[in-house]
Structure 1
């Protein structure tokens, strides 16, 4: 039986921190319900103390969502924790996510504190949050640049204080996969009581390594991944939910599984993109417009003969209708014939060879040949012959 990896979606919290992507309560409700249908285990609904609007949204989601846990973010501050608890009091599965920085850089320059005081504050925050909810997650901000020995002390202390989940964020996207994986492994091997809590991976994409780092984490014992739809988030974004889910699905040897319904990934990707006014880059893995498009003649011929020659994911598996054979000047006869048959035109080989030359001239002129242009091309050819 595969190990369960919990999917913690922070689209509505970390994702919404992207400038210009703020959502109203109604939009958040629509996305949250879609996340619930997709099968997300935990929805981080917001940071309630940050604004009245965020408090209202978290409260509304707490009332509406039944199958996913609802999580509220807070700093390691009593007021933050109290407001978070108030916002999620209607949730069937409430979680408070509290914490503070643990790297020396954060401790000495941001918090103006000491390692000893940060450790005390971390323990107190967890104990205080436990007064309100059973499920408390602690985040060690900038864990990616935190000394492993000190990080282990903090993790051990907060688990002893009652943390059910411990988040190890690579806040700045600094880590290499082997570094981050080793950090998780070090905690699993050196923290007393580590099996009493779930270790969580929260990776940022500043160096383009968020997905790789998240996978290194679960391969070394983490059992929760914090991610966003389309990988949106501050700066270069967060781990993309659709990417880590498909990596685990396509590699059964990892013996890792989620409860995500992958057929709903493309629709929710489009929903988030539209709602947040965040276009998806065409070459984005899994859900980009080019993810299942083929324009090279060699690739097109291979896909037409057997889709698996160039696609490791069936488009329908992620909610995309079909692969696309895009006609360009790089396309071959096999692709042209395939598309001609799609519009009801079946030509013998000799005529196909003749029209192919006309097609190449047109493709050089238009870049991409769509069905309309293809029909015109066939009509012109038939007139001549």
Structure 2
């Protein structure tokens, strides 16, 4: 029978510490609700003593959350504990958890706390006893446990359990330990602490050396039964254990990991995406499980293998985590199998085009623009001079009169075809949509703006701005990418690139599809 691993989420506490600004109580509540729907067992809602807003957040979450257990952090200080309990006083669905912590390594005791081990032991015992007045669910963390003397670590654990601690957390606070090294710490605690069976053993890792997920998996193999981490691995410095990685490792490798969790894995992708939007941070494309590249393939060999059987190069199906099936990046590394696959998906029989000729043209175009999209393939297959960028729509002049919080005047001079020029003046506070709507009106192309991303960098004392725009025309996705020293110019040129691609797409001869 599979043992259950408790998932303790600290996105709202440790995760928030990595953000450039604090989340307000409303945003924290939205995240807590997402975590509850995901199936997280324990939500660490915050550190109430740290600020009035954090107190308010914990209080609000305690009033709302019903299924997940609510927890808040407190130092081993009387006032911290009282405020932590007070913030959770509205939680009625189960006993709330107070999470106590104190530094136990010689480094922390001497230089941070400026005390000795006897002082730390006394503070720990008194704090557990005080927390016991408010709840029977007390977690005790030995901060910097990875660098704590093992004799001291076992001694303090034994004494806090004796006085009422029900969960013992062993954190690698600075991401210092290696999996094999940490497994020995777990083994020693289980063998040397006589009353360890009276408490759950938890682990909490940071990712400074990239070991957080590996340490977490190793720890449960050696006896830990609670994993602490965050969604997407956000957290101090290099982040915390990424919970989705541990959860999917357990789910995927159940041949060697005889465990289970209460997580609804089909909600992983949606939850991580929504939390990243609320926190205003971007998920790295190469992030395991949830990154945009996690299920995309560029190599022609990989693409061919995926088409034959997705298991050839995917150990997790995107559908299992609630993501849509991703296909291929069409680049110079792609092969004929991927091109054939896309043409078939668009409804073109192999009899309607020459695959070898299309592939040669495809390679030429990738040398010019890097990545190819579906509408490019149609142009390559059925039009001449495919590699020349269409300039049917061309920007001649742009003038913007911007006034803060007042309607802005925008003038666009656009060349259409050989002679046709149009000038449109618009007053609108939203420059982004105003420009988009103007170009749509001028071109008479009914496209929809879905997203745009702007990136900037300094190059030789000049600011260079790259804008990527994503639009939809008749259910087909179109992309524009331009670089300029001016954001608005990059944005408009990207939109004009899309207009030219759509026009080329519209002018492709109507081919009889099978």
- Shorter-chain TM range is over 0.9
Matched with 1:326 is 329
Out of 312, 337, 340, the position equivalent to 1:337 is 340
Q: Give matches, 1:142-221, under 5 Å.
A: 142-221=144-223
CA distance in 2, matches of 1:321, 1:178: 37
Tell me the alpha carbon deviations over residues 178-213 of structure 1, each in whole angstroms, 9 at most, x when there is no partner. Answer: 111111111111111111111111000000100011
Q: Give matches, 1:122-161, under 5 Å.
A: 122-161=124-163
Greater mean alpha carbon deviation, residues 237-246 or residues 351-360: 351-360
CA distance in 1, matches of 2:109, 2:88: 29
**TM-score (structure 1 length as normaliser):** 0.97
Matched with 1:295 is 298
Greater C-alpha Rg: 2
Matched with 1:64 is 64
Out of 210, 213, 237, the position equivalent to 2:239 is 237
Tell me the alpha carbon deviations over residues 2-39 of structure 1, each in whole angstroms, 9 at most, x when there is no partner. Answer: 11100000000000011414211111111111100100
CA distance in 2, matches of 1:106, 1:144: 12
Matched with 1:275 is 278
Greater mean alpha carbon deviation, residues 12-21 or residues 346-355: 346-355
What is the DSSP-based 3-state SS (H/G/I as helix, E as strand, rest coil) of the residue aligned with 2:278?
helix
CA distance in 1, matches of 2:348, 2:129: 71
Corresponding position: 1:314 with 2:317: yes
Corresponding position: 1:100 with 2:102: yes
CA distance in 1, matches of 2:185, 2:142: 13
Tell me the alpha carbon deviations over residues 134-171 of structure 1, each in whole angstroms, 9 at most, x when there is no partner. Answer: 10000100001001111011111111111110110100
Greater mean alpha carbon deviation, residues 268-277 or residues 33-42: 268-277
Q: Which runs of 4+ in 1 moved over 3 A?
A: none
What is the DSSP-based 3-state SS (H/G/I as helix, E as strand, rest coil) of the residue aligned with 2:227?
strand
Greater mean alpha carbon deviation, residues 341-350 or residues 165-174: 341-350
Matched with 1:251 is 253
What is the DSSP-based 3-state SS (H/G/I as helix, E as strand, rest coil) of the residue aligned with 1:293?
coil
Q: Measure how far apart 1:60 and its partner are.
A: 0.3
CA distance in 2, matches of 1:191, 1:348: 74
**Structure with the larger helix share:** 1
Matched with 2:367 is 364
CA distance in 2, matches of 1:172, 1:103: 12
Matched with 1:41 is 41
Q: Measure how far apart 1:282 and its partner are.
A: 0.6
CA distance in 2, matches of 1:70, 1:370: 47
The number of equivalent residue pairs is 384
CA distance in 1, matches of 2:26, 2:272: 18
Aligned partners of 1:325 and 1:339 also within 8 Å: no
What is the DSSP-based 3-state SS (H/G/I as helix, E as strand, rest coil) of the residue aligned with 2:354?
helix
Tell me the alpha carbon deviations over residues 64-112 of structure 1, each in whole angstroms, 9 at most, x when there is no partner. Answer: 0000000000000000000000001111231000120000000111111
Greater mean alpha carbon deviation, residues 179-188 or residues 40-49: 179-188
Aligned partners of 2:353 and 2:381 also within 8 Å: no
RMSD between aligned residues: 1.4
What is the DSSP-based 3-state SS (H/G/I as helix, E as strand, rest coil) of the residue aligned with 1:13?
helix
CA distance in 1, matches of 2:134, 2:260: 31
Q: Measure how far apart 1:379 and its partner are.
A: 2.8
**Structure with the larger strand share:** 2
What is the DSSP-based 3-state SS (H/G/I as helix, E as strand, rest coil) of the residue aligned with 1:268?
helix
| Gapped regions of structure 2 (runs ≥ 5) | 385-507
CA distance in 1, matches of 2:151, 2:50: 33
Matched with 1:260 is 263
Tell me the alpha carbon deviations over residues 245-294 of structure 1, each in whole angstroms, 9 at most, x when there is no partner. Answer: 01111111211110111111111111111111111111000000000000
Aligned partners of 1:21 and 1:277 also within 8 Å: no
| Gapped regions of structure 1 (runs ≥ 5) | none
Aligned partners of 1:363 and 1:369 also within 8 Å: yes
Per chain length, whose mean CA-contact separation is higher, i.e. which structure has more relative contact order (CA < 8 Å, sep 6+)? 1
**TM-score (structure 2 length as normaliser):** 0.73
Corresponding position: 1:8 with 2:8: yes
Matched with 1:75 is 75
Q: Measure how far apart 1:349 and its partner are.
A: 9.8
Q: Measure how far apart 1:350 and its partner are.
A: 7.6
CA distance in 2, matches of 1:313, 1:292: 9
